Structure 1
Amino acid sequence: MAPPLLQEKDGKPAGTLQTEGDTTYGRIVRLVLLVGGALCYALYWSSEGHHPHNVNPLFGKAAENLFLSVPDEEHAIKASRLYATKPHLAGSPQDFVTAKDFLSLLQTELGIPIPEKDPVYKSGSPESRDAVLSIPKAPGPRAWIDTYYPILNTPLERHVQVLSSDGEIELELDLVERPDDDSDSDASEYADFVPTFHGLSRGGDVVGPVIDGGYCTNDEFNDFVKKGVSFEGTIVLCRYGWNFRGLKVKGAQELGASGVLIFNDLSDDGTVTEANGYLPYPRGPSRNPNSVQRGSVQFISVYPGDPTTPGYPSYENSTRTEGENIPSIPSLPLSYANAKLLLRTLTPADSLHGKRVRLVNNVKNTVTPIWNTLAVIPGHIQDEVVAVGNHRDAWVLGATDPSSGTATLHEVVRGLGHLLRKGWKPLRTILIASWDAEEYGLVGSTEWGEDFTDWIDEHVIAYLNLDGAASGSRLRFSSSPLLSHMLRKAAEDLPHPTDKSRKLWDATRDNGDLFGFNGSLSSAAVATQRAELIALDDVGVSALGSGSDYTVFLQRIGVPSTNGGFGSTLHDPVYHYHSVFDSERWQELYGDPGFHRHIAVARHLGLQTLRLSGSIVLPFNTTHYTVQLHRYLDQVEKLASEASLDVSFTTVRASIRALQNASHALDSEKHEAEAGLMRIIEKWRRKKSGAAYGFGSKLQMVYDSVRKALGFDVAASSSLPSLSMSVLHDKNEERRRDEDTVAYMVARHAGFQSYIDAWSQGVGALENSRSKTPIKKIKKAVQRIQAVNKKLIGFERGFISKDGVKDREWFKHLGVAPGKWLGYGATTFPGLTEAITFDRNATLVEHECERLEGLLNRLTEVISA
């Protein structure tokens, strides 16, 4: 359903960006004030003795260092306790409280005036539309809450019963997560506040024999079928791990099962088990056997978001479908203790052997309001936006998922707010998002992305995602290949959270220290560890699959994205994912004692944000991307060989090589464009400072004449703004890349946008009055950088196909998508890979080769132009 037309203003829909003809006066004013006043004047007055020492604008390293000094453990713990000591399930009253808590943080830290009425808007309303569409002309920071209306479910009645031969209840399982003691007061208080259930699960009452499905992966189901095992009418018992829980249900459903029960197997907990000498939580670091992993069973690899509004936003009055990405059979999550009881029905010598099981899952499906909290910090280049986001909703308390990320984002916001108070302004605009209903299936971010697809495509240059920030000792990163090097470099520039002799990046090899009596691992745990290492690229970063809020940005719109944080290993205290035991006590005692990892992640995320929003040339590595494309194709060729498909990939390989050659040329152009601008500015800066007096007076006349023409009182006007440029005298070795250089000032005030177009109009007289002033050279150099950045921004978008990935067309990226039967994990070259692995059709493989070649060749043309 298309968004409603907005109210008109001056003959245009509200929120419509003004055209060049609409802003003649504004462009002249900005041109003279920013380019004339802050650029040229500041450059000439930057020599010692001519600049006001009481002004010290923040750029580059100075801004980074000041930001890094702000995040601290005490504030992070306070923020964590604010969110993680009360349940806040998406759409609940407590969830709305947290949305307003985050809004208050943004208003306080970013210096946003608090309006009389809370800025809470209905999605699709003129206020909501204008809040986003007017970002490129926002005069200052602002924050608001967008309300969407997806279908969500909540549990009504749940039972798992073992039945006697005559249908009587022989054993009723206790489905409540019961702590062994009251040492974790929050877990005890809220043990059954959010009952153990699956989000977006199907209601039903079914009876059948139990069958042990292992991890219920697609490969395992195929193996069962080959062995002649029938799933018809059964209750399938599945272990968590290897694939997204919804795809376990989907696989069982397609084989005729009646229902699914899913549990965490202790053998996947590595060395931290009760059998290996560790007491279960809350008395120790091993898994509480009564813990239960809630979670969505949406078919996330088909499409995420509101099941009833695929591809368009869930407004209050949206037309809804039945939903094609949700199960048709019921399911429930179980504890390990309960799963052991059901496995007795499969043990020949047991009294429960052969007994049938009844599964009851009654749920209430309702259109439920959810709340995304957003804020914008306008940059000098207002229509280029760096987005940073974390989801806020939790299954219960969510101290790790998501509140460790929310507390970390708190610290990023505090750091940015401190910079603003010190006079900093980013080169590019920064958007901050606290997403809602991620746990049900990435709902808040997906609905917002579907609502503003065109705006995101036009303006958002990168999205930095944070889910849980700290649940263990190992730092893990996933990213678009464009951002892998930037992500790693930022981690190499920061200290390790607990060992100052090491760097943060070194934490990617940390492994925990709980080995117990016996350090051996199960074969399944070893396989998981091996798969994690295989997924890394040569930089040490893995590809993005799905399971968090970057999905709509990267895989539908083509915005390069990152995701990262500290996670647990096989030798760390067991993280009770989506359980009531993911509590503040567990986090402070076992997850991240002292919250040092929270702060490390906050500093890293902030550093990424500052570098993306402040770099003159965007830190996108297209050549690394092309190296990965070769690697993706290597894997495809291996799969085709294993499937005995006679298909040639020579032309695809040739297209990748052509793109790689074009990328090498773009690398050279990036370097030369920035170096060329630096040479011009350095040469100009070194002229004798005495010439500044005559130049300054001419510039002041231009400034005054424009003000007079626009009706301002020239006599009352202040003199031209001047800026301290003491940074010009910094001779450190990173000077060329440091935004403290005068090149940053040129880029900042030129804005790369309408100022460039209007340059000659506003300062042509200035150039004529002083022929040695290199205005035209600066203009040309900045335009060259602008052209380079445009190519960099378009690179990821070059993999977007309007036809999308076969059988799941919501996903548009032909370079990477969540695996069809993985969900969390990534499948690279998804159309091509799945034509081999699932369709096993040579003709279809050739068709997918042609589609991919077309995108690669067009992208080569674009970056070669």
Structure 2
Amino acid sequence: MISLISLTSVLLNLSAPPIDVRAAARMPDGASLQAFHDLLASEPHVAGTPGDARTIERLAAEFAKIGAGLDGFDVRVEEFFPLLARPVRASLSIVGLDINTVDARRGVLTLGVTEPNLAIDPATAHPDLNIAWNAWSGSGVVEAGVIYVNYGRREDFAKLAELGIDPRGKLALARYGGNFRGYKAKFAQDAGCVGLIIFTDPADSGFTKGKTWPQGGGWSNAECVQRGSLLTLPYAGDPLTPFHEATKDAARIAMDSLDLPKIPVQPIGYGAAQQILMRMKGKQAPVEWRGGLACDYALEDANLRLHLEVEQVREVVRTANVIARLRGATLPDEEIIIGAHHDAWCFGAADPLAGTICMLECARNFAQLARNGQRPDRTLVFAAWGAEEYGIFGSTEFVERDSAALSARAVAYINLDMAAMGLNPGGAVSPTLRSAVARALVDAPDATREKSAADVWAKAPNNSLAMGDLGGGSDHVAFWCHAGVPSIALSSGGSQGSTYHSNYDTVAWYRATVGADYGAAKLVTGIVNAITATLAHRDESTVSPRALLDDCQSQISKLRELASTRVGLDATSIEKVSTAFAALQPLAQQAEARLLASPSASDKQRLHALVAVWTDPRGIPGRPWFRNLYAATDRYSGYGSSMWPLMREAIEDEDAAALASAASRYLAVAKSLEHALNELANPAH
């Protein structure tokens, strides 16, 4: 069901004066951003909980306030009903010790599975805070010896096999980093481990980085524990409704058919991890596997026994996206979507709210511009997504409602997950949008207002603006990898600290570590405003044919380099694809020159074709939900990108037949691109 707060249904089709991009980029206000932060970080709000429901109500009320009395502004609370996990209990102990301990049982040392309260931050005593847990863990009771597996990557388990270490029947101890935590669980389970314990090593985020929180710095202290999802299904969104929106009455697949973790998984802090590692007396780990703790990092100790208990439940529950729309003046059927998720594992002051507040401030700024007579030509959609932390649920359900219609109307999606974390901006950008983003960055100010955002943006080795490839990990995935909507993921880092996904991710930590002046949030919102104002103008083509073909050549070069590391792999098909796409570059340059010299109303469909040709309903073998042949999430790390995934994965697998088949599909894309570019370069013909 969709509940609607309708502020107006007035149709706006009058031409509006263009928005001054530079002025829009200077509108963000620190006091407004702080007020949004205070409101949304006032209580824990895990998806599907009462705190989540109250957060949804607050967001709807704030959007309504932003658009009050403004023609063409409406707000919707869009419910969906995903499968979610809930923690019931968890415990971890070292057993069989020949010492007296504080535990009531002789020889048992109980390790902490949540953070203690901090006197300096009363929020950490909130009654709705929970134990540390990894959503989707298997439930069970395990007692076994322990094995240290570094980051728990595929290559780490391969190294253990090379060293003669047998993980079967053991509890794996892995540190965070290197890959998505869900793959740590998957690889541990596949290797025969009976359980997994994950900790944040101080070498990655702790005292070796600087002073810890709250002892004069912002880095993770010994009791800080990272929570998070373990979901590694071959699609994003609700596990029970792939390809379809998770409405209340949606058809659902059987829960027991899902490939969810079967082993119990528990996160801990590095203080608890040290209690385990300091007692392990086996063969030492390779030097590169050793972290920042003052103890040996042994690979295994069959005599050291750990007792792990984890219990979770899974159930379908209600949550919601909160969507506001500002209707465009002259191109209302074309949309720029700006999104950030609203759910958090705890308070979420950094993740996600350091991005959510920027999205809200962007909405407030453009509503004010519209009141002043400067309405964007294209419609702006501001979205607060639900249940992202569980597996990118809310944005995926939004996309899956009608992905074909969305692809036709959405010009771009801008994602702001945990975006304002310092004064060093950067981002990953779909290739067709990079030219527009580069122009917008020149118009946006840096934090000092003395330079442009382009001056402080991350740089490539040739000193050009670095714009990375979009991978996994956040709400752009369904837009870009499933629906093929060109997307942007913005962030600004550099602050000295992290309490990621912990009970210490509070407003007090954020203001002490990132800044109480909200300079980072003003910087990010200014950049978002500049990009949005640029893309929303009717004369902005939004698609650069030249940038697309330049990036195609770059991706082919990377594929060629990857293939060179696979001895004996026939790479002839790569050269065929390279030749076909190289032949399109002069045509792309002609098309871009014609667009600049004499743009026409008919260009819209032709430009859209340059994007649409990459979306294939057959998807990727083994992962058909990923329909964009340009990009998918990396199948082994989760966070990384797999560019031109059909060919890349065939090369990684050293499968010549799959590579030849993949090449034929990219040659078909090249043929379609040739037709679209010809029409753009020579519209009269």
Q: Same fold (TM over 0.5)?
A: yes
Judge conservation of contact 2:73–2:325 (CA < 8 Å) in 1: yes
Residue number among 210, 218, 221 corresponding to 1:285 in the alignment: 218
The answer on whether the counterparts of 1:592 and 1:598 sit within 8 Å (CA) in structure 2 is: no
Label 1:93 to 1:426 Cα distance change in 2 as closer, same or farther (>3 A).
same
- The aligned residue for residue 87 of structure 1 is 44
What is residue 669 of structure 2 aligned with on the other side?
855
**What is aligned with 2:232?**
299
Please say if residues 37 and 507 of structure 2, whose CA atoms lie closer than 8 Å, have aligned partners that are also in contact. Answer: yes
Distance 1:829 1:151, change over 3 A: same
How far off its partner does 1:336 sit?
0.8
SS of match in other structure, 2:528 = helix
Deviation of 1:622 after TM superposition, in Å, equals 2.4
Q: Which residue number in structure 2 is paired with residue 341 of structure 1?
A: 275
Structure 1 residue 556 corresponds to structure 2 residue 482: yes
What per-residue deviation string (whole Å, max 9, x for no partner) do you get for residues 752-802 of structure 1?
Answer: xxxxxxxxxxxxxxxxxxxxxxxxxxxxxxxxx222222222322221121
Displacement of 1:247: 1.1
Q: For 1:98-121, what per-residue CA distance to the aligned partner results, in whole angstroms no more than 9, with x for missing partners? A: 1121111222222358xxxxxxxx
Task: State the SS of the aligned residue for 2:408.
Answer: helix
Q: 1:109 aligns with which of 57, 60, 66?
A: 66
Choose which of 531, 556, 575 in structure 2 pairs with 1:633: 556
Instruction: Report which stretch shifted further, 390-399 or 416-425.
Output: 416-425
Deviation at 1:614, TM superposition (A): 1.0
Q: 3-state DSSP class of the match of 2:532? A: helix
Match of 1:258 among 172, 180, 194: 194
Query: Sequence identity of aligned pairs in percent?
Result: 27
CA distance in 1, matches of 2:678, 2:551: 20
8 Å CA contact 2:345–2:389 kept in 1: the answer is yes
Q: Please state how far the C-alpha of 1:260 moved relative to its aligned partner.
A: 1.3
Q: Residues 661-688 of structure 1, C-alpha deviation per residue, up to 9 Å, x if partnerless? A: 33212102211223xxxxxxxxxxxxxx
Name the CA shift for 1:112/1:852 in 2 (closer, same or farther; >3 Å). farther
Q: Are the aligned partners of 1:449 and 1:456 in contact in 2 as well (CA < 8 Å)?
A: yes
Match of 2:203 among 267, 272, 289: 267
Match of 1:597 among 504, 520, 529: 520
1:74 aligned partner: 31
Aligned equivalent of 1:402: 352
Name which of 215, 223, 227 aligns with 2:159: 223
Secondary structure, aligned partner of 2:119? coil
**2:342 counterpart residue number:** 392
Distance 1:671 1:857, change over 3 A: same
Contact 1:110 1:416 in 2 (8 A): no
Q: Deviations over 1:111-144 (max 9, x none)?
A: 358xxxxxxxxxxxxxxxxxxxxxxxxx822111
The answer to whether the 8 A contact 1:484-1:539 is kept is no
Q: Deviation string for 1:398-424 (max 9, x for gaps)?
A: 111111111111211110111121123
Where does residue 306 of structure 2 map in the other structure? 357
Structure 2 Cα separation of the partners of residues 324 and 630 of structure 1: 39
How far, CA to CA, are the matches of 1:313 and 1:277 in structure 2? 45
Q: Distance in 2 between matches of 1:427 and 1:279?
A: 48
Query: C-alpha separation between the residues in 2 aligned to 1:795 and 1:786?
Result: 16
Q: Aligned AA for 2:558?
A: Q
Q: How many Å separate the matches in 2 of 1:554 and 1:538?
A: 24
CA distance in 1, matches of 2:241, 2:615: 21
Partner of 1:477: 427
Contact 1:194 1:395 in 2 (8 A): no
Distance in 2 between residues matched to 1:579 and 1:251, nearest whole Å = 24
CA distance in 2, matches of 1:651, 1:202: 47
Amino acid at match of 2:669: L
1:59 aligns with 2:23: no
Report the structure number with the largest CA radius of gyration: 1
- Aligned twin of 2:451: 502
Q: What is residue 625 of structure 2 aligned with on the other side?
A: 810
2:373 pairs with 1:417: no
Is 358-367 or 161-170 further displaced after alignment?
A: 161-170
Task: Show the counterpart of 2:322.
Answer: 373
Q: Tell me which of 144, 148, 153 is aligned to 1:208.
A: 144
TM-score, normalised to structure 2's length? Answer: 0.89
Aligned equivalents of 1:150 and 1:360: distance in 2? 26
Please say if 1:864 is aligned against 2:678.
Answer: yes
CA distance in 2, matches of 1:635, 1:817: 16
Alpha-carbon distance change, 545 to 276 in structure 1, aligned in 2, over 3 angstroms: closer
1:189 aligned residue (118, 123, 126): 126
Question: Aligned partners of 1:332 and 1:823: how far apart in 2?
Answer: 19
Q: Does 1:176 align with 2:114?
A: yes
Q: Give 1:788-803 correspondences, 5 Å limit.
A: 788-803=603-618
Distance in 2 (CA, whole Å) between partners of 1:358 and 1:615 is 63
Shift of 1:587: 0.9
2:185 match = 249
For residue 647 of structure 1, the aligned residue among 550, 558, 571 is 571
CA change 1:112–1:96 in 2 (3 A) is farther
- Which residue does the alignment assign to 1:444? 394
In structure 2, C-alpha distance between the alignment counterparts of 1:407 and 1:434, rounded to whole Å: 10
3-state DSSP class of the match of 1:786?
A: coil
Shift of 1:353: 7.3
Residues 134 and 266 in structure 2, CA contact (< 8 A), matched pair in contact too: yes
Q: Which residue number corresponds to residue 657 of structure 1?
A: 582
Gaps of 5+ in 1: 7-29, 40-56, 114-138, 511-532, 675-784
Look up the equivalent residue of 1:479 and give its one-letter code.
V
Which residue is 1:99 aligned to?
Answer: 56
Q: Distance in 1 between matches of 2:240 and 2:162?
A: 35
1:453 corresponds to: 403
CA contact (8 A) 2:541 2:604 kept: yes
Greater helix proportion: 1
What is residue 682 of structure 2 aligned with on the other side?
none
For 1:410 and 1:290, how far apart are their aligned partners in 2? 33
Q: Which amino acid aligns with 1:829?
A: W
Report the RMSD for the aligned CA atoms in angstroms: 2.6
Q: How does 1:428-443 map to 2 (within 5 A)?
A: 428-443=378-393
Given the two structures, how large is their TM-score scaled by the length of structure 1?
Answer: 0.71
8 Å CA contact 2:331–2:379 kept in 1: the answer is: yes
Maintained 8 Å contact 1:198/1:332: yes
Distance 2:218 2:336 in 1: 39
**Matching residue's letter, 2:83:** I
1:861 alignment partner AA: H
Alpha-carbon displacement from aligned partner over 1:406-444 (angstroms, at most 9, x marks no partner) = 111121111011112112332111111110000111101
Q: Would the aligned equivalents of 2:445 and 2:526 in 1 still touch at CA under 8 Å?
A: no
Return the letter of the residue paired with 1:102: L
The residue type paired with residue 318 of structure 2 is P
Query: How much does 1:291 deviate?
Result: 0.4
Q: Distance in 1 between matches of 2:375 and 2:160?
A: 60
